Structure 1
Amino acid sequence: MRLHTHTWGEGDRVALLIHGIMADHRTWRRVGPALADKGYRVLAVDLRGHGASGRAGSYTPQDYVDDVVETLPAGAELAIGHSLGGLALSLAVERLAPRRVVYSDPAWYLATPEEGFDPAQFAAFKVTATREQIVTLSPRWESVDVDIEMETLAAWDESSVQGLAGSVGVDLLPARPVVPSLVQLADPSFLVSQDRAEVLRERGFEVRTVEGAGHTIHRDDFDGFMSSLDGWI
């Protein structure tokens, strides 16, 4: 599937941005312009079932990977994937062949229902979420990000979360960094434990934690997000 994309900047270098579940390209509203100011042409996708991209009958990780590879150019200078986007990027990295990648709190381990991950609750959140709930869950977000979250929830195909069922309880840590790779973690990360972070270091990944930041680091602490990319952008 060809995905909807949004572009910031006209620089000579290309940066790719891949969002997480329930979001779309608008989650990068500050990151895209910041990278454009650094001389990048920034391309951000809406994954299938999200934003302005099409709905589908299948939402497996491989579906996301194939869409991203079909839509985005190979050989970009930089690629950043958040959460589900980080998982998709790690599975697509050999085909996309960017010069370097950043995995921002990537979804490399989805907890079992007993551990707290329930796809049905994710799907229900689309219907039940209120502005007040989002503010409570993400008190450091700016007001415009809360507005965007409400809009992206409304645009999201909630059935897409069922496509992740086969990944629940499965350790999806990459075996090696295909290209120079930074793993950027929330504090704490519920997707990459400290033990798994140490395994990633042993496998050759650089791992940095943004102190005090929640899962959506670029919205929770934009300055901390950008600072943690020092040397990578």
Structure 2
Amino acid sequence: MQLHTHTWGEGDRVALLIHGIMADHRTWRRVGPALADRGYRVIAVDQRGHGASGRGDYTPELYADDLVETLPVGAELAIGHSLGGLTLSLAVERLGPRRAVFSDPAWHLASPGEGFGPELFAQFKAATKEQIQGMNPRWEEADVDVELATLAVWDEATALGLGPLLGADLMPAAPTVPSLVQLADPSFLISQERAAVLKSRGFEVRSVAGAGHTIHRDDFDGFMASLEGWI
């Protein structure tokens, strides 16, 4: 599927941004311009079922195929958040960026017995502004408004498509390209034990102190500082 994209900047270097579930390219409203200021042409996608992109079946393999169909090969940098991190990890060999950043990637989704269920995610479609603010007290109001706008056009069936992944270990065996794993503090997706495994497999792992899952909206300055040496 050819995905809808949004571009910031006209630099010689290319950076790719892949959002997480329930979001779209607008989640990167501060990151895109910040990278453009550093000389990048920044391309952010709306994954299938999100934003202005098409709908269809929802599997990690299809998400990855969409990236390969839509984005240029050989970018200087690729950043994927949450589901976008999983998607990027499945497409990274074919996309061939020089560096990859996996921001709190969805490489382990808790099983229903651990308190997670796709139906719970699907219910976020109806979240109110007050609920979003309550769950994300560090977000700027503009990010809360973006979340409401992205939820309005999000296909909640994407959440139901996560069912087969529950409880699975989706961590890559090794980095295909030099790779940073950037973690929330604490991360509910990558435990300290899993972080140690990733380090042993050749990933650099950094945490952003006190940040929640959507690091770039919870602590934008911490997010950017954590990327030093990678961007």
SS of residue paired to 2:205:
strand
User: How far, CA to CA, are the matches of 1:166 and 1:230 in structure 2?
Assistant: 36
Identity of aligned residues (%): 76
1:200-211 alignment to 2 at 5 Å?
A: 200-211=198-209
Structure 2 match to 1:75: 74
Q: Deviations over 1:83-109 (max 9, x none)?
A: 000000001010000000000000000
Q: 1:117: how far off?
A: 1.4
Q: 1:162: how far off?
A: 1.5
User: How far, CA to CA, are the matches of 1:219 and 1:61 in structure 2?
Assistant: 24
Q: Which amino acid aligns with 1:87?
A: L
Structure 2 match to 1:143: 141
Q: Which of the residues 180, 183, 186 maps onto 2:184?
A: 186
User: How far, CA to CA, are the matches of 2:120 and 2:162 in structure 1?
Assistant: 13
Q: Deviations over 1:161-198 (max 9, x none)?
A: 12111111000010001100000000000000000000
TM-score norm. by structure 1 comes to 0.98
Q: Give the total of aligned pairs.
A: 231
Q: 1:125: how far off?
A: 1.6
SS of residue paired to 1:157:
coil
Q: Which amino acid aligns with 1:105?
A: D
Mind listing any 5+ residue stretches in structure 1 that lack a counterpart? Answer: none
TM-score norm. by structure 2 comes to 0.99
Mind listing any 5+ residue stretches in structure 2 that lack a counterpart? Answer: none
Q: Which amino acid aligns with 2:76?
A: E
- RMSD of aligned alpha carbons: 0.5
Structure 2 match to 1:8: 8
User: How far, CA to CA, are the matches of 2:193 and 2:169 in structure 1?
Assistant: 12
Structure 2 match to 1:65: 64
Structure 2 match to 1:119: 118
Structure 1 outlier segments of 4+, above 2 Å: none
Q: 1:124: how far off?
A: 1.4
Between 70-79 and 108-117, the greater mean CA deviation after superposition: 108-117
Q: Which amino acid aligns with 2:43?
A: L
